[in-house]
Homo-oligomer: A and B are copies of this chain.
Amino acid sequence: MLDKVKPDSGFEVITKHFESIRKLTEDLCQGLDVEDYNLQAMADTSPVKWHLAHTSWFFETIILKRFESDFEPFHEQFEYLFNSYYNAIGEQFLRPNRHLLSRPTVAEVFEYRRNINERMVELLSSAEGNPKTDILPLTVLGINHEQQHQELLLTDLKYNFYQNPLMPSYRHAETDPPENSVNDLKQRWITFDSGVCTIGKALSDGVAEKFGFDNESPQHKHYLQGFQMCSCLITNAEYIDFIEQGGYQRSELWLSDGWAVKNEHGWKAPLYWFKKDDAWYHYTLDGVKKVQDSEPVAHVSYYEADAFAAWKGARLPTEQEWERVAAEQLVSGSFLQAEHLKPIAPKTGDAVVKQVFGELWQWTSSSYSPYPGYRPLAGAVGEYNGKFMINQYVLRGGSCVSSQGHIRATYRNFFYPDARWQFSGIRLAKDL
């Protein structure tokens, strides 16, 4: 997948892209206090500082170390400290302990970023007229990697801030936006016929314009039975109905593992929700807000999504069903750059199937597994995706904190079915 970049055109474009994405990551940190950079409430969430360092580590360890002729590490222990999970590179500092790294300081990590940026730009310029080098495709991979961590940085920070009873606001929005009143929002079922369709990304695509991760390939045929898909994401109003009709107490709606997990954790509503004076509130990146009826419900686990679907007499879509629907649409929706930092209600002008991209990751019923003929990338980056193809479920579509331009119809995200801290929502499907 990384073997077909067009480097003559690519060098300047990629450098520019590199610089803007790197800058965006740092822009996301404006308004944070130094104290905010190191929060880690559970092993799954990494501190902001760690995200800042690890994305630089990726460029240093995967690219500079291999291609710089006079490579010297910025700091001899960073390779170990900021390695996430690459066994091929070496041991990793324990994930749950990332919050214990008060040093390097925030200022030192920003210095680390500056240093890596400079060296990367210099290296990229050396790639000009060197059509066979892996520098450019690996840089594109590193850029996409950084975009993933931009999303995680916000997602994790939301979870970590939430542990503080002071309920800090990530930014200081002046007032609540008026609820976008979509009084006539109606879920509709759209029908799709049976037949063989094409799934995944062809390997012959160039990297620069049409990047894809290895897990999206190869492109292959898939037979789909006819199905129906719901026009909109499930709204808070619909989900409140589920709660108030006893959805969390009716075992027959739940998968066996889901019922056990729900009971163990005492879930009674989505993550971040609480009830006060008979009204639902939730914690957002703008602090505590009232839950808005017409906005999509977010921060539900696979188990809750599945139970909700059962309650509606429906089911979650497979990832192939979702991709078939998405393939017909332009990639538009509320992404990170729209700065809502929460999902919003559908607009009337949207396509028949609305809210396909942006807003919320949509749980599919598909276990994350290799496509027929899948081959991981060579080298350490072969650990990027392949080794996680077990026990997780695919989510599609990107979210309100996904970086614009990072998402496409073939994009596969994946989490364990009990995960709730992601911006994850519900799209329903049905058999014909």
Residues of A near any B CB (own CB < 8 A): 33-39, 41, 77, 80-81, 85, 87-88, 93, 97, 99-106, 160-161, 163-166, 168, 194, 196, 220-223, 225, 227, 251-252, 254-259, 302-303, 306, 315, 365-367, 369-370, 372-373, 382-383, 387-391, 417, 431
Contacts and interface: CB of A to CB of B under 8 A. Distances in A.
A321 to B, nearest CB: 9
A227 B365 CA distance: 25
A80 B258 CA distance: 22
Nearest to A321: B372
A103 B38 contact: no
Given A35-B102, A35-B105, A257-B388, 10 more contacts: A35-B35, A39-B102, A100-B160, A100-B164, A101-B166, A255-B388, A256-B388, A259-B387, A315-B370, A367-B369
B102 A36 contact: yes
Task: Indicate the member of A93, A104, A168, A256 with the most B CB atoms within 10 Å.
Answer: A256
24 contacts: A33-B103, A34-B35, A35-B37, A35-B102, A35-B106, A38-B38, A39-B99, A81-B166, A87-B259, A93-B165, A100-B163, A101-B164, A101-B166, A103-B164, A103-B168, A194-B221, A255-B389, A255-B390, A256-B388, A365-B369, A365-B370, A367-B369, A372-B431, A373-B431
A254 B104 CA distance: 33
Contacts of A372: 225, 227, 431
A166 B225 contact: no
Contacts of A99: 39, 99
Q: How many copies does the complex hold?
A: 4
A372 B221 CA distance: 17
A1 B296 CA distance: 38
A382 B256 CA distance: 12
Given A38-B35, A387-B255, A77 B166 contact: yes
A367 B99 CA distance: 35
Contact of A166 (B103, B220, B259, B306): B103
Given A33-B102, A417-B390, A88 B252 contact: yes
A102 B159 CA distance: 13
A41 B431 CA distance: 42
Given A102-B36, A365-B369, A163 B97 contact: yes
A168 B417 contact: no
A417 B81 CA distance: 31
Nearest to A160: B100
Given A221-B223, A252-B88, A388-B256, A35 B431 contact: no
Contacts of A102: 33, 35-36, 38-39, 161, 164, 168
Given A35-B103, A102-B35, A225-B373, A252 B87 contact: yes
Top 7 A-B pairs, shortest CB-CB distance: A367-B367, A223-B223, A35-B102, A225-B372, A87-B251, A100-B163, A256-B387
Contact of A223 (B104, B196, B255): B196
A156 B220 CA distance: 42
Contacts of A100: 39, 41, 160, 163-164
A259 B386 CA distance: 13
A165 B256 contact: no
Nearest to A32: B102
Nearest to A432: B373
